[in-house]
Structure 1
Amino acid sequence: MNNELIISHTVETIDSREVAEMVGMRHKDLLRKVSKYQQILESAKLRSQDFFVSSTYKVDGNNKTYECYLLTKKGCEMVANKLTGEKGVIFTAQYVNRFEEMEKAIKTPALPNNYLEALERLVDEVRLNEQLTLENNQLRFKLEMKGNEANHLWSIDEIAKEHNISAKALNKILQNKKVQYTRKGRWYLYRRYKNKGYTKTKSNWLKWTNEGKLFIEKILAG
Protein backbone atom coordinates (compact mmCIF):
# COMPACT_ATOMS: atom_id res chain seq x y z
CA MET A 1 0.00 0.00 0.00
CA ASN A 2 1.30 3.44 -0.88
CA ASN A 3 -1.07 6.00 0.59
CA GLU A 4 -0.27 9.63 0.00
CA LEU A 5 0.65 11.80 2.92
CA ILE A 6 -2.32 13.91 3.91
CA ILE A 7 -2.52 17.50 5.12
CA SER A 8 -5.23 17.74 7.78
CA HIS A 9 -5.84 21.33 8.91
CA THR A 10 -2.28 22.24 7.81
CA VAL A 11 -0.80 19.31 9.81
CA GLU A 12 0.93 16.52 7.89
CA THR A 13 -0.39 13.04 8.67
CA ILE A 14 0.03 9.42 7.54
CA ASP A 15 -2.91 7.02 7.19
CA SER A 16 -2.96 4.31 9.86
CA ARG A 17 -3.29 1.67 7.12
CA GLU A 18 0.14 2.58 5.82
CA VAL A 19 1.57 2.75 9.32
CA ALA A 20 0.26 -0.78 9.94
CA GLU A 21 2.12 -1.97 6.83
CA MET A 22 5.29 -0.22 7.95
CA VAL A 23 5.30 -1.91 11.35
CA GLY A 24 4.08 -5.29 10.05
CA MET A 25 0.87 -5.27 12.06
CA ARG A 26 -2.75 -5.97 11.20
CA HIS A 27 -4.64 -2.70 10.77
CA LYS A 28 -7.34 -3.60 13.29
CA ASP A 29 -4.66 -4.36 15.89
CA LEU A 30 -3.07 -0.96 15.31
CA LEU A 31 -6.48 0.69 15.66
CA ARG A 32 -6.92 -0.91 19.07
CA LYS A 33 -3.52 0.33 20.20
CA VAL A 34 -4.13 3.86 18.95
CA SER A 35 -7.56 3.91 20.59
CA LYS A 36 -5.89 2.95 23.87
CA TYR A 37 -3.28 5.69 23.45
CA GLN A 38 -6.10 8.19 22.84
CA GLN A 39 -7.86 7.20 26.04
CA ILE A 40 -4.67 7.56 28.08
CA LEU A 41 -3.93 11.00 26.61
CA GLU A 42 -7.46 12.27 27.15
CA SER A 43 -7.58 10.98 30.73
CA ALA A 44 -4.38 12.97 31.34
CA LYS A 45 -6.11 16.03 29.81
CA LEU A 46 -3.75 16.05 26.83
CA ARG A 47 -4.88 16.76 23.27
CA SER A 48 -5.06 13.39 21.55
CA GLN A 49 -5.71 15.23 18.24
CA ASP A 50 -2.10 16.38 18.27
CA PHE A 51 -1.15 12.74 17.84
CA PHE A 52 -4.08 10.89 16.27
CA VAL A 53 -6.95 12.23 14.15
CA SER A 54 -10.01 9.99 13.77
CA SER A 55 -10.97 9.44 10.13
CA THR A 56 -12.75 7.04 7.77
CA TYR A 57 -12.23 5.48 4.36
CA LYS A 58 -14.12 3.45 1.77
CA VAL A 59 -13.07 0.56 -0.44
CA ASP A 60 -13.84 0.53 -4.16
CA GLY A 61 -17.01 -1.41 -4.90
CA ASN A 62 -18.15 -1.26 -1.29
CA ASN A 63 -20.32 1.51 0.17
CA LYS A 64 -19.43 0.60 3.72
CA THR A 65 -17.38 3.11 5.73
CA TYR A 66 -14.38 1.89 7.70
CA GLU A 67 -12.55 3.57 10.56
CA CYS A 68 -8.92 4.62 10.46
CA TYR A 69 -6.61 7.21 12.02
CA LEU A 70 -4.41 9.91 10.59
CA LEU A 71 -1.16 9.92 12.55
CA THR A 72 0.81 13.12 12.97
CA LYS A 73 4.56 13.06 13.36
CA LYS A 74 4.03 13.00 17.14
CA GLY A 75 1.67 10.06 16.75
CA CYS A 76 4.22 8.14 14.71
CA GLU A 77 6.85 8.84 17.35
CA MET A 78 4.55 7.43 20.02
CA VAL A 79 4.01 4.25 18.00
CA ALA A 80 7.76 3.98 17.34
CA ASN A 81 8.54 4.30 21.04
CA LYS A 82 6.47 1.18 21.71
CA LEU A 83 8.46 -0.86 19.20
CA THR A 84 11.75 -2.51 20.05
CA GLY A 85 14.82 -3.61 18.13
CA GLU A 86 15.12 -3.59 14.37
CA LYS A 87 11.40 -3.07 13.78
CA GLY A 88 11.43 0.22 15.72
CA VAL A 89 14.51 1.49 13.89
CA ILE A 90 13.08 0.69 10.44
CA PHE A 91 9.69 2.25 11.20
CA THR A 92 11.33 5.41 12.52
CA ALA A 93 13.40 5.74 9.35
CA GLN A 94 10.33 5.15 7.17
CA TYR A 95 8.01 7.68 8.79
CA VAL A 96 10.76 10.33 9.03
CA ASN A 97 11.39 9.95 5.29
CA ARG A 98 7.66 10.20 4.56
CA PHE A 99 7.28 13.44 6.50
CA GLU A 100 10.32 14.87 4.73
CA GLU A 101 8.61 14.05 1.43
CA MET A 102 5.55 15.98 2.55
CA GLU A 103 7.59 19.00 3.62
CA LYS A 104 9.37 19.07 0.25
CA ALA A 105 6.06 18.73 -1.60
CA ILE A 106 4.61 21.68 0.32
CA LYS A 107 7.65 23.87 -0.36
CA THR A 108 7.95 22.94 -4.04
CA PRO A 109 4.96 23.89 -6.23
CA ALA A 110 3.82 21.11 -8.54
CA LEU A 111 4.70 21.56 -12.21
CA PRO A 112 1.83 21.75 -14.69
CA ASN A 113 0.88 18.42 -16.21
CA ASN A 114 0.30 19.74 -19.72
CA TYR A 115 0.28 22.82 -21.91
CA LEU A 116 -3.36 23.67 -21.11
CA GLU A 117 -2.75 23.59 -17.36
CA ALA A 118 0.36 25.77 -17.78
CA LEU A 119 -1.65 28.25 -19.85
CA GLU A 120 -4.42 28.35 -17.23
CA ARG A 121 -1.88 29.09 -14.51
CA LEU A 122 -0.39 31.88 -16.61
CA VAL A 123 -3.82 33.41 -17.17
CA ASP A 124 -4.56 33.24 -13.43
CA GLU A 125 -1.25 34.94 -12.63
CA VAL A 126 -1.92 37.69 -15.17
CA ARG A 127 -5.39 38.27 -13.73
CA LEU A 128 -3.99 38.40 -10.21
CA ASN A 129 -1.31 40.91 -11.26
CA GLU A 130 -3.93 43.05 -13.01
CA GLN A 131 -6.15 42.97 -9.91
CA LEU A 132 -3.23 43.93 -7.65
CA THR A 133 -2.28 46.75 -10.02
CA LEU A 134 -5.86 48.04 -10.01
CA GLU A 135 -6.05 47.91 -6.21
CA ASN A 136 -2.73 49.73 -5.89
CA ASN A 137 -3.86 52.39 -8.35
CA GLN A 138 -7.14 52.84 -6.49
CA LEU A 139 -5.33 53.17 -3.17
CA ARG A 140 -2.91 55.69 -4.64
CA PHE A 141 -5.79 57.58 -6.18
CA LYS A 142 -7.69 57.70 -2.88
CA LEU A 143 -4.61 58.98 -1.05
CA GLU A 144 -4.08 61.66 -3.66
CA MET A 145 -7.70 62.72 -3.44
CA LYS A 146 -7.46 63.34 0.30
CA GLY A 147 -5.88 66.68 -0.45
CA ASN A 148 -7.33 69.68 -2.22
CA GLU A 149 -8.63 67.55 -5.08
CA ALA A 150 -11.04 65.57 -2.93
CA ASN A 151 -14.02 67.18 -4.65
CA HIS A 152 -12.58 67.14 -8.14
CA LEU A 153 -15.03 66.37 -10.96
CA TRP A 154 -13.73 64.40 -13.91
CA SER A 155 -14.74 64.75 -17.51
CA ILE A 156 -15.07 61.60 -19.57
CA ASP A 157 -12.15 62.86 -21.68
CA GLU A 158 -9.84 63.00 -18.63
CA ILE A 159 -10.75 59.49 -17.51
CA ALA A 160 -10.44 58.08 -21.04
CA LYS A 161 -7.03 59.69 -21.51
CA GLU A 162 -5.66 57.89 -18.42
CA HIS A 163 -6.58 54.57 -20.05
CA ASN A 164 -5.28 55.45 -23.52
CA ILE A 165 -8.69 55.33 -25.17
CA SER A 166 -10.95 57.98 -26.68
CA ALA A 167 -13.86 59.56 -24.84
CA LYS A 168 -16.14 58.24 -27.58
CA ALA A 169 -14.92 54.67 -26.96
CA LEU A 170 -15.31 54.99 -23.18
CA ASN A 171 -18.84 56.39 -23.53
CA LYS A 172 -19.68 53.43 -25.76
CA ILE A 173 -18.33 50.95 -23.19
CA LEU A 174 -20.46 52.53 -20.46
CA GLN A 175 -23.46 52.47 -22.75
CA ASN A 176 -22.97 48.78 -23.55
CA LYS A 177 -22.64 48.05 -19.82
CA LYS A 178 -26.03 49.74 -19.27
CA VAL A 179 -24.45 52.41 -17.08
CA GLN A 180 -25.55 55.38 -19.18
CA TYR A 181 -27.67 56.28 -22.18
CA THR A 182 -27.72 59.23 -24.55
CA ARG A 183 -30.55 61.60 -25.29
CA LYS A 184 -30.31 64.63 -27.57
CA GLY A 185 -26.53 64.48 -27.54
CA ARG A 186 -26.16 64.27 -23.75
CA TRP A 187 -25.43 61.38 -21.46
CA TYR A 188 -27.58 60.30 -18.51
CA LEU A 189 -27.14 57.50 -15.96
CA TYR A 190 -29.62 54.66 -15.75
CA ARG A 191 -31.79 54.73 -12.64
CA ARG A 192 -29.82 51.98 -10.80
CA TYR A 193 -26.67 54.17 -10.84
CA LYS A 194 -28.30 57.57 -10.58
CA ASN A 195 -28.21 58.05 -6.80
CA LYS A 196 -24.86 56.42 -6.02
CA GLY A 197 -22.88 59.66 -6.12
CA TYR A 198 -20.98 58.69 -9.26
CA THR A 199 -21.78 61.85 -11.22
CA LYS A 200 -22.74 65.49 -10.94
CA THR A 201 -24.10 67.82 -13.59
CA LYS A 202 -21.96 70.85 -14.21
CA SER A 203 -22.85 73.42 -16.88
CA ASN A 204 -25.42 70.91 -18.17
CA TRP A 205 -22.70 68.32 -18.75
CA LEU A 206 -22.20 65.03 -16.91
CA LYS A 207 -19.08 65.01 -14.71
CA TRP A 208 -17.73 62.06 -12.76
CA THR A 209 -16.85 62.19 -9.06
CA ASN A 210 -13.88 60.36 -7.57
CA GLU A 211 -16.19 57.47 -6.67
CA GLY A 212 -17.50 57.47 -10.21
CA LYS A 213 -13.98 57.38 -11.62
CA LEU A 214 -13.15 54.34 -9.46
CA PHE A 215 -16.39 52.70 -10.63
CA ILE A 216 -15.37 53.20 -14.28
CA GLU A 217 -11.90 51.79 -13.59
CA LYS A 218 -13.44 48.64 -12.12
CA ILE A 219 -15.53 48.23 -15.28
CA LEU A 220 -12.47 48.64 -17.51
CA ALA A 221 -10.49 46.15 -15.39
CA GLY A 222 -13.25 43.56 -15.54
Structure 2
Amino acid sequence: MTSPDKSNGYEQIAARYIAGRGTDPDETGAVEVAEWGRTLPSGATVLDLACGTGVPISLALMNCGLNVYGVDASPSMVAAFRERFPGVPVQCSAVEESDFFGKKFDGVVAWGLMFLLEPETQYRLIAKVGAHLVSGGKFVFTAPWQTCMWKDLMTQRISISLGQEAYIDAIENAGMRVVGHNTDGGQNYYYLCEKDRG
Protein backbone atom coordinates (compact mmCIF):
# COMPACT_ATOMS: atom_id res chain seq x y z
CA MET A 1 0.00 0.00 0.00
CA THR A 2 1.39 3.40 -0.96
CA SER A 3 1.60 6.14 1.64
CA PRO A 4 -0.78 9.09 1.23
CA ASP A 5 0.50 12.15 -0.61
CA LYS A 6 1.27 14.68 2.10
CA SER A 7 2.00 17.39 -0.48
CA ASN A 8 -1.68 17.74 -1.47
CA GLY A 9 -0.87 16.79 -5.05
CA TYR A 10 2.09 19.14 -5.50
CA GLU A 11 4.73 16.40 -5.70
CA GLN A 12 2.98 15.05 -8.80
CA ILE A 13 3.12 18.41 -10.58
CA ALA A 14 6.44 19.54 -9.07
CA ALA A 15 8.30 19.70 -12.40
CA ARG A 16 5.64 21.98 -13.90
CA TYR A 17 5.54 24.14 -10.76
CA ILE A 18 9.33 24.43 -10.56
CA ALA A 19 9.51 25.47 -14.23
CA GLY A 20 6.87 28.16 -13.67
CA ARG A 21 6.24 29.77 -10.28
CA GLY A 22 9.36 28.22 -8.82
CA THR A 23 11.63 30.46 -10.88
CA ASP A 24 10.04 33.93 -10.91
CA PRO A 25 11.11 36.16 -7.98
CA ASP A 26 8.48 38.75 -8.98
CA GLU A 27 5.58 36.28 -8.93
CA THR A 28 2.29 37.14 -7.18
CA GLY A 29 2.70 37.54 -3.42
CA ALA A 30 6.39 38.52 -3.39
CA VAL A 31 5.76 42.25 -3.02
CA GLU A 32 3.17 41.78 -0.27
CA VAL A 33 5.34 39.32 1.66
CA ALA A 34 8.33 41.67 1.39
CA GLU A 35 6.21 44.53 2.79
CA TRP A 36 5.15 42.28 5.66
CA GLY A 37 8.73 41.12 6.20
CA ARG A 38 9.94 44.70 6.59
CA THR A 39 7.65 45.08 9.62
CA LEU A 40 9.73 42.47 11.47
CA PRO A 41 12.96 43.26 13.32
CA SER A 42 16.16 42.96 11.29
CA GLY A 43 17.49 39.43 11.52
CA ALA A 44 14.14 38.03 12.73
CA THR A 45 13.46 34.32 12.23
CA VAL A 46 10.61 33.48 9.87
CA LEU A 47 9.04 30.14 9.00
CA ASP A 48 7.77 29.71 5.43
CA LEU A 49 5.12 26.97 5.41
CA ALA A 50 4.78 25.09 2.11
CA CYS A 51 7.89 26.94 0.96
CA GLY A 52 8.16 25.06 -2.35
CA THR A 53 11.37 25.96 -4.15
CA GLY A 54 11.82 29.07 -2.02
CA VAL A 55 10.88 31.35 -4.91
CA PRO A 56 9.26 33.80 -4.62
CA ILE A 57 8.22 33.85 -0.94
CA SER A 58 11.33 32.66 0.95
CA LEU A 59 13.53 34.71 -1.37
CA ALA A 60 11.47 37.85 -0.67
CA LEU A 61 11.93 37.27 3.05
CA MET A 62 15.68 36.68 2.72
CA ASN A 63 15.96 39.90 0.73
CA CYS A 64 14.49 41.67 3.78
CA GLY A 65 17.44 40.44 5.87
CA LEU A 66 15.38 37.80 7.69
CA ASN A 67 16.53 34.34 8.77
CA VAL A 68 14.27 31.93 6.92
CA TYR A 69 13.30 28.35 7.72
CA GLY A 70 11.20 26.33 5.27
CA VAL A 71 8.86 23.35 5.43
CA ASP A 72 7.38 21.56 2.43
CA ALA A 73 5.97 18.07 1.93
CA SER A 74 7.15 17.68 -1.69
CA PRO A 75 10.59 15.99 -1.91
CA SER A 76 11.15 17.52 -5.36
CA MET A 77 10.36 21.03 -4.13
CA VAL A 78 12.62 20.61 -1.09
CA ALA A 79 15.45 19.37 -3.32
CA ALA A 80 15.06 22.46 -5.52
CA PHE A 81 15.01 24.68 -2.39
CA ARG A 82 18.21 23.09 -1.06
CA GLU A 83 19.95 23.49 -4.40
CA ARG A 84 19.00 27.16 -4.59
CA PHE A 85 19.57 28.03 -0.90
CA PRO A 86 22.06 25.48 0.48
CA GLY A 87 22.57 27.31 3.79
CA VAL A 88 18.89 27.73 4.65
CA PRO A 89 17.26 25.15 6.96
CA VAL A 90 14.41 23.28 5.24
CA GLN A 91 12.38 20.24 6.28
CA CYS A 92 10.63 17.77 3.99
CA SER A 93 7.45 17.29 5.99
CA ALA A 94 3.74 17.98 5.91
CA VAL A 95 3.19 21.21 7.83
CA GLU A 96 0.75 19.50 10.19
CA GLU A 97 3.40 16.88 11.07
CA SER A 98 6.50 19.10 11.22
CA ASP A 99 8.09 19.88 14.58
CA PHE A 100 8.80 23.38 13.20
CA PHE A 101 12.48 22.83 14.02
CA GLY A 102 11.62 22.81 17.75
CA LYS A 103 11.76 26.63 17.61
CA LYS A 104 9.63 29.70 18.14
CA PHE A 105 9.57 32.27 15.35
CA ASP A 106 9.16 36.02 15.00
CA GLY A 107 6.98 35.43 11.95
CA VAL A 108 5.23 32.65 10.04
CA VAL A 109 4.04 32.78 6.41
CA ALA A 110 1.49 30.42 4.81
CA TRP A 111 1.04 31.82 1.29
CA GLY A 112 -1.15 29.64 -0.91
CA LEU A 113 -1.36 26.80 1.61
CA MET A 114 -4.21 27.01 4.09
CA PHE A 115 -7.09 26.19 1.76
CA LEU A 116 -5.29 23.12 0.36
CA LEU A 117 -5.74 21.42 3.73
CA GLU A 118 -8.77 19.68 5.17
CA PRO A 119 -10.82 22.00 7.43
CA GLU A 120 -9.79 20.25 10.65
CA THR A 121 -6.15 20.40 9.59
CA GLN A 122 -6.49 24.14 8.93
CA TYR A 123 -7.75 24.68 12.49
CA ARG A 124 -4.94 22.57 13.93
CA LEU A 125 -2.32 24.37 11.87
CA ILE A 126 -3.50 27.81 13.02
CA ALA A 127 -3.29 26.64 16.65
CA LYS A 128 0.18 25.21 15.99
CA VAL A 129 1.36 28.48 14.45
CA GLY A 130 0.13 30.36 17.52
CA ALA A 131 2.12 28.02 19.76
CA HIS A 132 5.31 28.55 17.71
CA LEU A 133 5.22 32.35 17.57
CA VAL A 134 7.03 34.52 20.09
CA SER A 135 4.99 37.07 22.04
CA GLY A 136 4.04 39.77 19.55
CA GLY A 137 5.05 37.53 16.63
CA LYS A 138 3.33 37.89 13.26
CA PHE A 139 1.47 35.47 10.98
CA VAL A 140 0.30 36.09 7.42
CA PHE A 141 -1.73 33.64 5.35
CA THR A 142 -3.88 33.62 2.23
CA ALA A 143 -7.44 32.30 2.02
CA PRO A 144 -10.59 33.67 0.39
CA TRP A 145 -12.73 35.79 2.72
CA GLN A 146 -15.84 33.84 1.76
CA THR A 147 -16.68 30.22 2.63
CA CYS A 148 -16.21 28.31 -0.62
CA MET A 149 -14.81 25.28 -2.43
CA TRP A 150 -13.05 25.10 -5.81
CA LYS A 151 -10.61 23.00 -7.79
CA ASP A 152 -6.95 23.91 -7.43
CA LEU A 153 -5.78 24.93 -10.92
CA MET A 154 -2.55 22.96 -10.75
CA THR A 155 -3.51 19.76 -8.93
CA GLN A 156 -7.25 19.63 -9.71
CA ARG A 157 -7.87 18.77 -6.05
CA ILE A 158 -10.60 20.43 -4.00
CA SER A 159 -9.58 23.56 -2.06
CA ILE A 160 -11.66 24.77 0.88
CA SER A 161 -11.90 28.22 2.44
CA LEU A 162 -13.40 28.25 5.93
CA GLY A 163 -14.46 31.88 5.48
CA GLN A 164 -13.47 35.04 7.30
CA GLU A 165 -15.55 34.47 10.43
CA ALA A 166 -14.15 30.96 11.00
CA TYR A 167 -10.57 32.11 10.36
CA ILE A 168 -10.90 35.01 12.79
CA ASP A 169 -12.31 32.66 15.45
CA ALA A 170 -9.44 30.19 14.89
CA ILE A 171 -6.85 32.98 15.07
CA GLU A 172 -8.31 34.30 18.33
CA ASN A 173 -8.51 30.78 19.82
CA ALA A 174 -4.80 30.41 19.03
CA GLY A 175 -3.90 33.50 21.08
CA MET A 176 -3.58 35.80 18.09
CA ARG A 177 -5.66 38.58 16.56
CA VAL A 178 -6.26 39.77 13.03
CA VAL A 179 -4.75 43.24 12.64
CA GLY A 180 -5.40 43.68 8.93
CA HIS A 181 -6.27 42.08 5.61
CA ASN A 182 -5.70 42.90 1.98
CA THR A 183 -5.61 41.50 -1.56
CA ASP A 184 -2.46 40.92 -3.60
CA GLY A 185 -1.94 41.54 -7.31
CA GLY A 186 -3.40 38.13 -8.15
CA GLN A 187 -6.54 38.89 -6.12
CA ASN A 188 -5.47 36.55 -3.31
CA TYR A 189 -7.02 37.66 -0.02
CA TYR A 190 -4.65 37.57 2.94
CA TYR A 191 -4.87 37.98 6.70
CA LEU A 192 -2.31 39.85 8.83
CA CYS A 193 -2.22 38.48 12.38
CA GLU A 194 -0.23 39.10 15.54
CA LYS A 195 0.24 36.98 18.64
CA ASP A 196 -0.96 38.56 21.85
CA ARG A 197 1.78 39.95 24.09
CA GLY A 198 2.13 38.60 27.56
TM-score range, shorter chain: under 0.3
Q: Give the TM-score normalised by structure 2.
A: 0.22
Q: If you compute each CA radius of gyration, which structure gives the higher value, 1 or 2?
A: 1
More strand by share: 2
More helix by share: 1
